[in-house]
């Protein structure tokens, strides 16, 4: 059978392409961390060319896609997408960007990372970092059913058939649910590691396997629905993120080792290496067997076995050159002892033992190159150069039709546009500088200056040199790292001595949100109340219009334009509506509290939001966890304004017992909201210096540090702890000798191995030791 070859490169996204779908030979859908979903339509067939249209553009990463097949209700089918904003967008493919979605599904409390649709198109299943999988009936958008039992992020979901759902979880369990009647778990299969991908197999599978799984251990496993493992497929060298079924029964997999692998009869028959760090997604067109991939270099690529649909030879050669010229971060291949590596002679003297085998070679110039064995070509293929750090997180920058780690703007003459200086980390900086000078007809006297410019601006991120990279400690940069939901790598920057972290001096806000989508969901819930005849608590049309004006002012950041009447309506919806419909109003209240004028009203004796929240039972055990989480976010944002801080201080003895029961919560969003509130209280106490309150919070934080496992929650708890210890020696002594803070900090450090954790722990220990 012929190998897959490049058919087309789809350029348009501005960040990682996280998910792809291939519903027909002439249509592709892709989702990206650039906040968009694009639909690609084929413009010509030989060679294939594609053009895209943006269908959604939100304010957060989009991570997951699924396609509802055409039906009488939705003749075009539906595009289903979800991501970091926790909302699942459902829309017809022909809708324009400015048109409303057919449905916005709200229920998840964290990043939506997995979606699938049943083959009959009757239901959608979703998975999220909130440790929940949910079942949604197509066309009946209001409610969802939670598939119970998960204790960690649900990374993969599979609508196996009309009565069976399979989930893959970070708790290393594969769970099988029956959906006839109320969904119920029928089986749990222990996997060796975190499960990130699931795939249905053909009913005619020769071994009787029914589905495949893959994940962090880089192994694909074939299973029956009874939980029997029938085979293991080895070949990948890092996390596997995606699996898809070929029409002939073969499998396609994609992962963190930069490869897409084709499997037939349980053997890897082809390895397609990408010039990227991560290949996040692979999807198959069931009509013609072509595949589309999405990767960290911002590109989607189509591959085909049909010579009639292959790209032009120059395009294929360019792809191969990009792979060969790509920089492979040292950390993705492990420790390498250069002195023990074979030289180039190895490539002509030894054959590979299996398709996709990787061999590191020490080149004559001292560089380390990776070569991959191609069984079809019976030769070693250069797939990149190992470097100590990749300049752009694996995302190449296009310049004149080629991909580079960097493209610098160089100002040569005042008043003229800057010149573009492209550079790859596997280049010699003097050679790159010389080529730049020749291409732009500049004096050779610029050579040293340009070469030094390259060295300075890559901070030594060249071959054989290390580059200490800083990372945003709050996890808000754009680069995702597997295994940790929030950790990121920043663009190369100078590596100054680690900045002092403690004490935290600024109050942390929680103010990101898609205002329009939240408001739309609130109006949908309001209409449901009207339809149910609950007119006593529902909003009338003028109320909705008033709220719309309030949300518009909120979105524009115009605190003075936020009308108090609209704020009162939000309080009503957040505290008097049925509990399952309060979340959007609580979310908007959380955003309102960051502004001086409306916050002053909400904390005034006439209004005082706190008693209203108390009476609504949002802090009770029976309250939906997402409501409680959002209420704690409201409390945290109280401390963004002067009058809010005054209320948070005077009502501390009321607030503290309300939040204490949630110290050991497993809900990630809730515990992060709680630790953010504790940071803000620690900042407040550094100005008030109330010993009793500080010690009670330190006691709470010790419990959080002992039980929390999420890296962001642990970091925020540590910062709050360290800030409180900055109150003085007495607090450090009490923390060390009475509250056993040292032990809690040690346990936290052992659980989360990150530079930012180590840095703040070092500062805390320094204070504890006096």
Confidence of residue 517 (pLDDT cuts 50, 70, 90): confident
The conformational region for residue 459 under phi > 0 = left, psi -120 to 50 = alpha, else beta, is left
If you average pLDDT over residues 694-722, what whole number do you get? 93
Residues 205, 261, single domain; the answer is yes
Looking at 257-261, 459-463, 470-474, which range is the least confident one? 470-474
Residue 459 pLDDT exceeds 60: no
Q: Rounded to the nearest 10 degrees, what angle do helices 583-592 and 541-555 cross at?
A: 40
Question: Can you tell me the distance from the alpha carbon of 60 to that of 53, in angstroms, rounded to the nearest whole number?
Answer: 19
Residues 596, 614, single domain; the answer is yes
More confident residue, 389 or 519: 519
If you average pLDDT over residues 285-295, what whole number do you get? 96
3-state SS string for 621-647: CCCCHHHHHHHHHHHHHHCCCHHHHHH
Confidence of residue 197 (pLDDT cuts 50, 70, 90): very high
Of 348, 363, 387, the position where a domain reaches its end is 387
Residue 322 pLDDT exceeds 70: yes
Mean pLDDT for the chain overall: 86
What does DSSP assign to residue 320?
Answer: H
Question: Can you tell me the distance from the alpha carbon of 422 to that of 46, in angstroms, rounded to the nearest whole number?
Answer: 31
User: Residue 186 maps to which CATH number?
Assistant: 2.130.10.10
Which 3 state secondary structure label does DSSP give 690?
A: coil
Question: Can you tell me the distance from the alpha carbon of 443 to that of 436, in angstroms, rounded to the nearest whole number?
Answer: 11
Per-residue pLDDT tens over the stretch 579-602:
999 999 999 999 999 999 999 999
User: Residue 422 maps to which CATH number?
Assistant: 3.10.20.870
Confidence of residue 719 (pLDDT cuts 50, 70, 90): very high
Number of domains in the chain: 6
Q: Is residue 206 part of a domain?
A: yes
Q: Is residue 36 part of a domain?
A: no
Confidence of residue 280 (pLDDT cuts 50, 70, 90): very high
Contact status, residue 119 vs residue 534, Cβ threshold 8 Å = no
Confidence of residue 485 (pLDDT cuts 50, 70, 90): very low
Q: Is residue 448 part of a domain?
A: yes
Residue 205 pLDDT exceeds 70: yes
Q: Is residue 501 part of a domain?
A: no
If you average pLDDT over residues 461-487, what whole number do you get? 33
Residues 209, 282, single domain; the answer is yes
Contact status, residue 299 vs residue 260, Cβ threshold 8 Å = no
**Nearest C-alpha neighbor of 720 from the set 675, 761, 754:** 675
- Residue tagged 């959608």 (tokens): 124
Q: Facing residues of 483 across strands?
A: none
Q: What is the pLDDT of residue 496?
A: 39
Question: Can you tell me the distance from the alpha carbon of 754 to that of 272, in angstroms, rounded to the nearest whole number?
Answer: 32
Residues 623, 650, single domain; the answer is yes
β 379-387/327-329 pair status: parallel
The string of DSSP codes covering 250-318 is -EEEEETTSEEEEEETTEEEEEEE-SSS-EEEEEE-TTT--EEEEETTS-EEEEES-GGGPPPHHHHHH
If you average pLDDT over residues 96-113, what whole number do you get? 91
Question: Can you tell me the distance from the alpha carbon of 173 to that of 328, in angstroms, rounded to the nearest whole number?
Answer: 32
**CB within 8 Å of 468: residues ≥ 6 apart:** 495
Q: How many CA atoms are closer than 13 Å to the CA of 6, on its beta-carbon side? A: 22
The string of DSSP codes covering 716-767 is HHHHHHHHHHTT-HHHHHHHHHTS-HHHHHHHHHHH---HHHHHHHHHHHHH
Q: What is the pLDDT of residue 401?
A: 62
Strand order of the sheet with strand 240-245? 240-245, 251-255, 259-264, 267-273
Confidence of residue 137 (pLDDT cuts 50, 70, 90): very high
Q: What is the pLDDT of residue 98?
A: 85
Question: Can you tell me the distance from the alpha carbon of 226 to that of 187, in angstroms, rounded to the nearest whole number?
Answer: 8
Residue 395 pLDDT exceeds 70: no
Per-residue pLDDT tens over the stretch 15-55:
899 999 999 999 999 999 999 999 999 999 889 999 999 99
Q: Is residue 615 part of a domain?
A: yes
* Percent of the chain at pLDDT exceeding 90: 61
More confident residue, 340 or 563: 563
If you average pLDDT over residues 259-269, what whole number do you get? 94
Looking at 302-311, 364-373, 435-444, which range is the least confident one? 435-444
Residues 5, 90, single domain; the answer is no
Question: Can you tell me the distance from the alpha carbon of 50 to that of 44, in angstroms, rounded to the nearest whole number?
Answer: 7
What b-and-e string marks burial along 594-605, b requiring 16 or more CB atoms within 10 Å of the CB?
bbebbbbbbbee
Q: Is residue 218 part of a domain?
A: yes
**Nearest C-alpha neighbor of 713 from the set 658, 632, 656:** 632
* Percent of the chain at pLDDT exceeding 70: 88
**CB within 8 Å of 232: residues ≥ 6 apart:** 219, 220, 221, 222
Q: Is residue 487 part of a domain?
A: no
Q: Alpha carbon of 738 to those of 444, 666, 702: distances in Å?
A: 69, 26, 11
If you average pLDDT over residues 210-226, what whole number do you get? 95
- Residue tagged 């934080």 (tokens): 701
Residues 517, 595, single domain; the answer is yes
What's the distance, CA 238 to chain centroid? 18
Confidence of residue 364 (pLDDT cuts 50, 70, 90): confident
Question: Can you tell me the distance from the alpha carbon of 305 to that of 282, in angstroms, rounded to the nearest whole number?
Answer: 15
Residue 300 pLDDT exceeds 90: yes
Q: What is the pLDDT of residue 498?
A: 47
Per-residue pLDDT tens over the stretch 663-692:
999 888 899 999 999 999 999 999 987 999
**Other CB atoms closer than 10 Å to residue 482's CB: what's the count?**
16
Residue 136 pLDDT exceeds 60: yes
Q: What is the pLDDT of residue 414?
A: 53
User: Residue 595 maps to which CATH number?
Assistant: 1.25.10.10
Residues 550, 622, single domain; the answer is yes
Residues 441, 537, single domain; the answer is no
**Nearest C-alpha neighbor of 630 from the set 616, 651, 649, 645:** 616
Q: Facing residues of 106 across strands?
A: 87
**CB within 8 Å of 81: residues ≥ 6 apart:** 19, 31, 37, 56, 62, 64, 65, 66, 88, 89, 115
Q: Alpha carbon of 681 to those of 176, 610, 624: distances in Å?
A: 44, 16, 25
Of 620, 638, 662, the position where a domain reaches its end is 662
Give the angle 233-238-241 at the CA atoms, nearest 5°. Answer: 80
Looking at 133-147, 324-338, 527-541, 704-718, which range is the least confident one? 324-338
Residue 492 pLDDT exceeds 50: no
Q: How many CA atoms are closer than 13 Å to the CA of 747, on its beta-carbon side? A: 16
Of 164, 190, 216, the position where a domain reaches its end is 190
**CB within 8 Å of 107: residues ≥ 6 apart:** 134, 144, 146
If you average pLDDT over residues 428-435, what whole number do you get? 70
Residues 377, 406, single domain; the answer is no
Q: Is residue 725 part of a domain?
A: yes
If you average pLDDT over residues 373-379, what whole number do you get? 85
Confidence of residue 489 (pLDDT cuts 50, 70, 90): very low
Residues 640, 538, single domain; the answer is yes
**CB within 8 Å of 253: residues ≥ 6 apart:** 197, 214, 220, 236, 240, 242, 243, 244, 260, 261, 263, 282
Q: What is the pLDDT of residue 145?
A: 92
Q: What is the pLDDT of residue 350?
A: 87
What's the distance, CA 671 to chain centroid? 18
Per-residue pLDDT tens over the stretch 151-168:
999 999 999 999 999 999
Q: Alpha carbon of 412 to those of 399, 424, 437, 450, 586: distances in Å?
A: 19, 21, 11, 10, 54
More confident residue, 411 or 700: 700
Q: What is the pLDDT of residue 480?
A: 30
If you average pLDDT over residues 447-455, what whole number do you get? 70
Residues 140, 271, single domain; the answer is no
Q: Facing residues of 9 across strands?
A: 301
In total, the chain counts a number of residues equal to: 770
**Other CB atoms closer than 10 Å to residue 117's CB: what's the count?**
22
Contact status, residue 594 vs residue 511, Cβ threshold 8 Å = yes
Residues 711, 567, single domain; the answer is no
More confident residue, 394 or 709: 709
Q: Rounded to the nearest 10 degrees, what angle do helices 447-458 and 429-439 cross at?
A: 130
Confidence of residue 702 (pLDDT cuts 50, 70, 90): very high
Residue 493 pLDDT exceeds 70: no
If you average pLDDT over residues 230-255, what whole number do you get? 95
Instruction: Give residue 439's domain range.
Output: 397-458
């Amino acid at each position: 059978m012929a190998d897959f070859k490049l058919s087309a490169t789809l350029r348009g996204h501005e960040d990682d392409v996280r998910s792809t779908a291939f519903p027909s030979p002439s249509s592709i859908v892709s989702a990206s961390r650039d906040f968009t979903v694009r639909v690609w339509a084929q413009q010509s067939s030989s060679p294939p060319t594609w053009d895209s249209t943006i269908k959604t553009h939100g304010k957060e990463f989009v991570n997951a896609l699924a396609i509802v097949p055409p039906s009488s209700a939705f003749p075009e089918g539906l595009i289903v997408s979800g991501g970091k904003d926790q909302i699942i967008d459902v829309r017809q493919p022909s809708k324009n960007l400015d048109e409303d979605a057919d449905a916005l599904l709200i229920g998840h409390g964290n990043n939506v990372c997995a979606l699938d649709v049943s083959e009959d198109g009757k239901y959608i299943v979703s998975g999220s970092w909130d440790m929940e999988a949910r079942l949604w009936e197509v066309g009946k958008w209001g409610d969802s059913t939670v598939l119970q039992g998960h204790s960690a992020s649900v990374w993969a979901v599979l609508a196996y058939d009309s009565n069976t759902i399979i989930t893959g979880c970070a708790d290393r369990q594969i769970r099988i649910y029956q959906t006839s009647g109320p969904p119920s778990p029928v089986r749990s299969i222990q996997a060796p590691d975190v499960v990130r991908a699931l795939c249905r197999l053909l009913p005619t599978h020769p071994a009787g396997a029914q589905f495949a799984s893959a994940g962090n251990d880089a192994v694909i496993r074939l299973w029956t629905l009874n939980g029997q493992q029938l085979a293991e497929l080895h070949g990948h060298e890092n996390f596997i993120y995606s699996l898809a079924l070929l029409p002939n029964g073969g499998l396609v997999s994609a992962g963190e080792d930069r490869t897409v692998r084709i499997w037939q009869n349980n053997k890897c028959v082809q390895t397609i290496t990408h010039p990227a760090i991560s290949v996040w997604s692979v999807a198959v067109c069931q009509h013609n067997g072509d595949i589309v991939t999405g990767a960290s270099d911002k590109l989607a690529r189509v591959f085909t076995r049909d010579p009639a649909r292959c790209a032009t030879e120059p395009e294929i050669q360019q792809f191969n050159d990009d792979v060969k010229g790509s920089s492979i971060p040292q950390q993705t291949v492990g420790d390498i002892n250069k002195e023990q590596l074979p030289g180039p002679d190895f490539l002509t003297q030894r054959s590979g033992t299996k398709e996709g085998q990787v061999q590191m070679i020490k080149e004559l110039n001292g560089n380390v190159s990776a070569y991959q064995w191609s069984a079809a070509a019976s030769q070693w293929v250069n797939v990149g150069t190992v470097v100590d750090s990749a300049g752009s997180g694996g995302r190449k920058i296009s310049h004149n039709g080629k991909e580079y780690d960097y493209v610098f703007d160089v100002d040569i003459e005042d008043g003229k546009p800057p010149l573009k200086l492209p550079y790859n980390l596997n280049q010699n900086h003097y050679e790159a500088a010389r080529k730049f000078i020749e291409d732009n007809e500049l004096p050779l006297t610029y050579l040293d200056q340009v070469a030094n410019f390259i060295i300075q601006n890559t901070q030594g991120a060249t071959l054989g040199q290390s580059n200490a990279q800083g990372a945003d400690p709050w996890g808000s940069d754009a680069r995702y790292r597997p295994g940790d939901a929030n950790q990121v790598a920043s663009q190369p920057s100078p590596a100054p001595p680690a900045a002092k972290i403690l004490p935290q001096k600024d109050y942390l806000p929680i103010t990101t949100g898609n205002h329009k989508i939240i408001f739309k969901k609130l109006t949908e819930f309001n209409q449901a109340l009207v339809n149910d005849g609950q007119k006593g608590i529902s909003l009338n049309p003028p109320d909705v219009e008033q709220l719309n004006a309030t949300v518009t002012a909120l979105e524009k950041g115009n605190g003075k334009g936020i009308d108090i009447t609209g704020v009162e309506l939000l309080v009503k919806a957040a505290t008097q509506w049925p509990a399952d419909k309060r979340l959007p109003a609580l979310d908007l209240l959380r955003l309102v509290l960051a502004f001086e004028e409306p916050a002053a009203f909400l904390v005034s004796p006439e209004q005082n939001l706190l008693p209203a929240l108390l009476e609504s039972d949002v802090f009770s055990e029976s309250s939906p966890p997402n409501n409680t989480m959002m209420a704690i976010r409201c409390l945290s944002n109280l401390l963004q304004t002067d009058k809010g801080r005054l209320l948070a201080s005077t009502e501390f003895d009321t607030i503290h017992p309300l939040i204490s029961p949630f110290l050991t919560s497993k809900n990630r969003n809730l515990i992060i909201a709680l630790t953010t509130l504790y940071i803000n209280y620690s900042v407040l106490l550094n100005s008030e210096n109330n010993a009793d309150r500080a010690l009670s919070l330190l006691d709470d934080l010790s419990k959080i540090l002992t039980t929390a496992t999420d890296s962001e929650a642990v970091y925020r708890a540590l910062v709050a702890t360290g800030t409180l210890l900055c109150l003085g020696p007495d607090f450090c002594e009490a923390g060390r000798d009475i509250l056993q803070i040292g032990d809690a900090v040690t346990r936290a450090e052992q659980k989360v191995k990150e530079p930012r954790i180590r840095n703040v722990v070092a500062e805390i220990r320094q204070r504890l030791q006096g």
